Structure 1
Amino acid sequence: MMYYYHYPYPPYPQPPAYPGYYLYPPVTRQYPQVDVNIFTKSIKSYRLLMDQGSILLDRLGDEDFDVKLMSFAQQGNKTEIDKLIKTIGLKVPVETKYTPTGITFELTAHPDPSSPVSCCTLSVHMKWGN
């Protein structure tokens, strides 16, 4: 035989009897004026990175260059890879990382020559093996 107990209150909290009982007035926040100067400089710097990336890709389209690059990578000779990349004559610093399956070039730009902090990075990932 089952017994049902009747409690004088519901088991879960009920919503307030009238709307707005638990509502507080909205908090209005004051935000500073938007300044797009840094963003504009970053866009100009990124355009430079895109141009430099295009120069890099054009050079990587040369089969003799690719054979040298992949041979140095296979030997684990990062110094020679860095020298080879410098022969391209890019105007931005390039960090090269490679594995047996691919290579990554990270081109970085500074929006302001007096600022040591990089604003933008263009990463080019390419597969060259299985």
Structure 2
Amino acid sequence: MYYFYHPRYFHSPYAPISYRPVHQRPSVDHRLLQQTPNPSNQNPYPPVDPNYLYQSANETKKLMKDASLVLDRLASSKDFDEKLMNHAQLSESEEVKRLIKSIGITSDVEAVYNPDSLRLEFISHHSNSECCRLSIVLKWR
């Protein structure tokens, strides 16, 4: 009796004694795989509206101005830096936030700190939703 099916075997790295046949995929007609063009030649996505991106970009520019004010103050006053670091070390987060707000920024800011760094996140809200965030991480150790 003759067998026309000859399975191919491979060695398994997990159980070198067991052998399993490798099944071959059926041949595919590549002409059928070509994409047919959209019959109506229309964009399947909704039309774009750049207004929200435009507003978000302008709000982010304001956040960058506030971040620049904070960085200028931190780069120019070691006394301010010492106060900020001391309050952060004592886990007085409200005082840290008050010190940062005392610089004269108008946007909301979140201050997260650890023994190695200070992360400031400037947040802007537009139309009762958060539109953009700007994060700055400063190492202090």
Q: TM-score, normalised by structure 1?
A: 0.79
Tell me what 1:32 maps to: 46
2:128 is aligned, of 108, 116, 128, to 116
User: By how many angstroms is 1:79 displaced?
Assistant: 2.0
User: By how many angstroms is 1:126 displaced?
Assistant: 0.7
Q: The residue matched to 2:129 in structure 1 has which SS?
A: coil
What is the distance in 1 between the residues matched to 2:34 and 2:133?
45
Which one-letter code corresponds to 1:55 in the other structure?
L
Tell me what 2:112 maps to: 97
**Percent identical across equivalent pairs?**
37
Q: Which runs of 5+ in 2 are unaligned?
A: 7-22
What is the distance in 1 between the residues matched to 2:25 and 2:100?
68
Tell me what 2:97 maps to: 82
Q: Which runs of 5+ in 1 are unaligned?
A: none
1:93/1:15 CA distance change after superposition, 3 Å: same
1:76/1:33 CA distance change after superposition, 3 Å: same
Tell me what 2:56 maps to: 42
CA RMSD after TM alignment: 2.5
1:80/1:23 CA distance change after superposition, 3 Å: closer
Residues 57-89 of structure 1: per-residue CA shift (max 9 Å, x gap): 011111110000011111111121122112111
Which one-letter code corresponds to 1:88 in the other structure?
I
Q: The residue matched to 1:6 in structure 2 has which SS?
A: coil
What is the distance in 1 between the residues matched to 2:119 and 2:68?
15
Tell me what 1:57 maps to: 71
What is the distance in 2 between the residues matched to 1:14 and 1:76?
65
1:52/1:23 CA distance change after superposition, 3 Å: same
Aligned length: 120
